[in-house]
Amino acid sequence: MKFPGSFYRNNKHFVSIILYSFILFFCTSCLNYYKSIYTFNSNFEQGNFKEAANALDKDKKAETRKTRLIYYMNRGVVESMQGNYEASNAFFEKAYLLGEDLQVNYFNEAASFLLNPNIVDYKGEDFELLLINYYKALNYLKMGDKEKALVECKRMDIKLSKLSSKYTSDNKFQRDAFIHTLMGIIYDANGDANNAFVAYRNALEIYQTDYQKFFQMPVPQQLKEDLLRVAYENNFLEDLHRYEKEFNMKFTPDKGKKGDLVFLWHNGLGPVKAETSINFTLMRGQAGVVNFSNEELNLNFAFPVDDSTYYKSGLSQLELIRIVFPKYIERPTLYSHAELSWNEEVANLDMVENVNAVAFKTLNQRMVWEVSKSLLRVAMKKASEYTLRKENQEAGALLGIVNAITEQADTRNWQSVPHSIYYTRMRLPEGTQEVKFTTKAIASGKPDQNFTFTFDIKPGETIFHTFSSLETASGFATALR
């Protein structure tokens, strides 16, 4: 915001009111997003889902805010946790449509370069948009609607194809093994062994390449077992023998009168975005280039600026620039692993998705863009402030305060997702079966947590169950401050 000196002198009181209003507005909105919805987060983390939903309901403007996508996603999770699957999917469908159709507001986009990125609607990270369909599919499966769950599979498949086109570099995370695994599980439950095989095979390849490369994450044991089984069911004997050799496993068909229990464990809570900052020195380079450098991190950004603009804008007066940008803070899990048991049979749950690691990777991939955008924004603010100071010192000083306060990183993200997702499949005989689920704490001395569930097993049918452990290890609150 720039006011000519003559305008400021003639309308000093009016301009001061406007500028101080800006200061007041941004002071009330500069909280980290986690803290800005703390009542919801606090209740959700403690498992008080009704109170968490009430906290969201109290914000009557939630559906008109720039964060309405997160509002819909949070409402979808809370309703699902309470067993209100239809209501949950209604909110997730709103989130899905908004994520697909959100149009760019060019005025707001331009303003984000002058003020801060919170001016624009939150569009969601790619992995967050995929998780919308994951939750929807789970809700449908729990309601017994496998056909609609398949629709969500197809939506995920389309979205994954778009991501592959969006990212072409081998060093970019662009393929989601978990989503392919989920598609395989759903096709499997629908009796479509051929498509299940294709999805499982795709998931295997991504785990072996991308996930091993980016996250050092092994192929889930359950995926190997499922791939062998559907290869057998499709009579793909050549593939079956090849995978048996590759996995060093021997497949034995189970022709008993049994049904399947697919048990998914949501362990912990995903990361929270916070704000961090670094300093850059500004130096005039050759051939009309201005260099912003940080020797500590070995960062250098060059922007072309002609001599006239360089000196008239005030950039020549700048030596040091501080920029802010988002970072993730992990909420470490309290539990390291879990197992499912029935009679003497015990099955370990395998990690199928590390949501926390995916979040960190996706943010790091675009960090160069985030930093360069912040540099450009701060440089423009400083130049504007310098120009106004030449005309009127007091007005320039006031603008400097506004510029400092409005420089905020975008700390918005979907914070009710799990830290990581595990699963296993257990084949159980027909009838009512009691299954025990046990979580194992990371810290020594912490007791195991045991839970008992009863399922009505039908031959040839697949039952889906999700359990969420919301507990996290200590230290997160300190790191957020």
Residues 193-243 have pLDDT tens digits of 999 999 999 999 999 999 999 999 999 999 999 999 999 999 999 999 999
pLDDT score at 15: 47
Residue type, 9: R
What are the strands, taking DSSP E only, across 168-307?
A: 258-267, 272-284, 289-294, 299-304
pLDDT score at 409: 82
pLDDT score at 291: 76
Q: How far apart are CA 231 and CA 180, in angstroms?
A: 16
pLDDT score at 318: 60
| More confidently predicted of 109 and 74 | 74
Locate the domains of the chain by residue range.
5-30+273-328+365-406, 255-271+332-354+419-481
Residue type, 385: E
Strand (E) or helix (H) holding 200: helix 193-206
Phi, psi at residue 272, to the nearest 5°? -115, 135
Confidence of residue 7 (pLDDT cuts 50, 70, 90): very low
Which tens digit of pLDDT belongs to each residue from 322-371? 778 889 999 999 999 999 999 999 999 999 999 999 999 988 887 777 77
pLDDT score at 401: 53
Which tens digit of pLDDT belongs to each residue from 458-477? 999 999 999 999 999 876 66
Q: How far apart are CA 329 and CA 319, in angstroms?
A: 31
Which tens digit of pLDDT belongs to each residue from 235-260? 999 999 999 999 999 999 988 889 99
| More confidently predicted of 353 and 298 | 353
Confidence of residue 424 (pLDDT cuts 50, 70, 90): very high
Q: What CATH class has 255-271+332-354+419-481?
A: mainly beta
Which tens digit of pLDDT belongs to each residue from 176-186? 899 999 999 99
> In this predicted structure, which of 86-100, 275-289, 440-454 has the lowest mean pLDDT?
275-289
Identify the burial level of 297 via C-beta atoms within 10 angstroms of its C-beta, where 0-12 means exposed, 13-18 middle and 19 or more buried: exposed
Q: How far apart are CA 21 and CA 27, in angstroms?
A: 10
Q: How far apart are CA 6 and CA 26, in angstroms?
A: 27
pTM of the model: 0.84
For 222, the token pair is 């359950």
Q: How far is CA 475 from CA 277, 387, 478, in A?
A: 21, 45, 5
Percent of the chain with pLDDT strictly greater than 90:
56
Is residue 119's pLDDT more than 70?
yes
For 182, the token pair is 């989920």
Over residues 265-272, the mean pLDDT reads 97
- What is the strand order of the sheet 335-342 is part of? 345-348, 335-342, 431-441, 449-457
424 touches 348 (CB < 8 A): yes
Q: DSSP alpha helices (H): ranges in 290-366?
A: 307-312, 355-365
pLDDT score at 197: 98
